[in-house]
Structure 1
Amino acid sequence: MTERTAAEAIPFLITRPAGKADNLLASLDESGIAYLYQPLITTAQMALKPQDQQFLQHADMLIFVSVSAVSCLQNQTDAALLKAPLFAVGHTTASALQRWLAREVTVPEDQRSEGLLQLPQLQQVAGKQIVVVRGNAGRELIKQGLVARGATVRYVQSYKRVPLPLDGASLCQQWQLAGIRCIVATSNEILQQLFSVISAGHHHWLQQCDWVLVSPRMQDSALALGIAAERITLADNANDSALLAAISQLKREYQ
């Protein structure tokens, strides 16, 4: 197979997890932006423990960190149990909650853990029972911040992240032949998984790609992996519209 010409190249690699990329891919199709889609991780529902239902029922506040946290809880919880005020880290998660529970959801403009902790409703929480619904791993910042303010914080883990079994050598060859110039990654886990799946001998190629990332924390991780700062574009946040804006800007630069 010969190298693709610039006109034929597929410049963008989308790595959002399986099941979470549909809206972004549809927007790219509508915008005429060529891409390859390769998820690196997927999510699997985790069965709730009996005490989890008690935590949910008696919580003073409920915080949801992702759409998967919502959907995997919805599959195994009676909505009538969830009476506490609802908070979501991002607008997409908030929309999923509103569709399920038909109630108001508070969401920060800065759609990160840092933004959530800035919400006025979460400043005076001493003595409150707060439940964070999330996956089997993740940042501790929300819990640490709320505990420091005197709250009791418990996790309800409704799903787990599962790396997909992938042939890194074959994928890297495919991406190079396609003409990939930019990799879009929406979590540190995905970023690290890329450098794990692809052998060290091809890390130089990854480092020479442009990257669309979604937080300063991810940028720090990318720099530690040898990606130069000028190769990194930070989207405003991880939602589809912000990612599309960052990708569209790079597409204009590539033309």
Structure 2
Amino acid sequence: MTPLVVRPEPQSESLCRQLAAAGHQPVTCPLLDFAAGRDISRLGPKLALCGPRDYVIAVSVQAVTFADNALKSQNRPWPDTHYIAVGEATAQAFASIGIRRVSVPDDPRSEGIIALPELQQPAGRQVIILRGDGGRDLIAPTLEAWGARVRYCEVYRRQYRPDPDGGLVKGWQRQGVDSIIVTSGGLLNHLFQLAATRAKDWLLSRLLIVPSERVAQAAKTLGFTLVINAEGASNQALLKALDERKRNDK
């Protein structure tokens, strides 16, 4: 198959290598990049207030990476506290900087985080949520209702790639893209905006691989009819979903 991979680097390159090794012909076109967020300069003082009974929640690999770089530039350590990662990839990002005692929910979404046993009685505890600009707003209201003191820290912001003349979409069509791998709701919406005015029918007829049921439902609302939920955003989960479809098409 010829899947279009739009996730950011370096994840895009890594996924494309595995797809090619499995016999696919991936087309890579990262549509998203990241920059430091508006709260990055205040990260150190915020984390310094965390103690052993408090929590730091990272919602993505980028949240860990940008926070760690900021702390290093500020010559500040990560605090001795409870760490929570939204998924295994984010937990691995924590491990890569020396933080290995990290809780990871079975469900890699906000719903999974608030269902963790250690967060069921957060009253009086401080929670710092490391995230990007925008995103879902479920964790903070829920934990605040349970008595926690929650503060967001926007450590990165998203920068989506434009396509003013439609050249990207035309290139995907020329290269015979028959499937698209999308790893977030934000990327899905941006992809749709790029193609909707010039190649909507073509886009909606592609096989779409997504990481969760939430993104799958969003895709169906936009009009996609061939949607597979890979149940994860790891390379292994995405490749498995595409391979299963390839075998079924034979």
Percent identity among equivalent residues?
A: 34
- Does the residue aligned with 2:191 lie in a helix, a strand or coil? helix
- Deviation, 1:72, is 0.7
* Aligned with 1:90 (options 87, 91, 96): 87
* Aligned with 2:233 (options 228, 238, 242): 238
The answer to whether the 8 A contact 2:169-2:194 is kept is no
- Deviation, 1:57, is 1.6
Q: Does 1:147 align with 2:141?
A: no
- 10-19 vs 130-139, which moves further: 10-19
Amino acid at match of 1:70: V
Amino acid at match of 1:62: V
Pairwise CA RMSD of aligned residues?
1.8
Q: Does 1:159 align with 2:156?
A: yes
Distance in 1 of aligned mates of 2:76 and 2:84: 15
The answer to whether the 8 A contact 1:168-1:198 is kept is no
The verdict on how the C-alpha distance between 1:252 and 1:42 changes in structure 2, with shifts beyond 3 A counting, is same
The answer to whether the 8 A contact 2:43-2:153 is kept is yes
Q: 1:11 matched to which residue of 2? A: 2
Distance in 2 of aligned mates of 1:139 and 1:31: 34
Q: 2:192 matched to which residue of 1? A: 195
Amino acid at match of 1:215: S
Q: Does 1:41 align with 2:35?
A: no
Alignment deviations for residues 129-178 of structure 1 (CA, whole Å, 9 cap, x no partner): 00000111111111122122211111111110001133562222222222
Unaligned runs of 5+ in 2: none
* Aligned with 2:62 (options 50, 54, 68): 68
Q: Does 1:131 align with 2:125?
A: no
The answer to whether the 8 A contact 1:169-1:199 is kept is no
The answer to whether the 8 A contact 1:57-1:83 is kept is no
Unaligned runs of 5+ in 1: 1-9
Alignment deviations for residues 71-117 of structure 1 (CA, whole Å, 9 cap, x no partner): 11111115624211111001111011011133311111221211111
Distance in 2 of aligned mates of 1:119 and 1:87: 9
- Does the residue aligned with 1:76 lie in a helix, a strand or coil? helix
The verdict on how the C-alpha distance between 1:153 and 1:204 changes in structure 2, with shifts beyond 3 A counting, is same
Distance in 1 of aligned mates of 2:235 and 2:109: 15
Q: Structure 2 matches for 1:241-252, cutoff 5 A?
A: 241-252=236-247
Q: TM-score, normalised by structure 2?
A: 0.91
Q: 1:6 matched to which residue of 2? A: none
Q: Does 1:99 align with 2:99?
A: no
Q: 1:204 matched to which residue of 2? A: 201
* Aligned with 1:20 (options 11, 23, 33): 11
The answer to whether the 8 A contact 2:122-2:146 is kept is yes
- Does the residue aligned with 1:155 lie in a helix, a strand or coil? strand
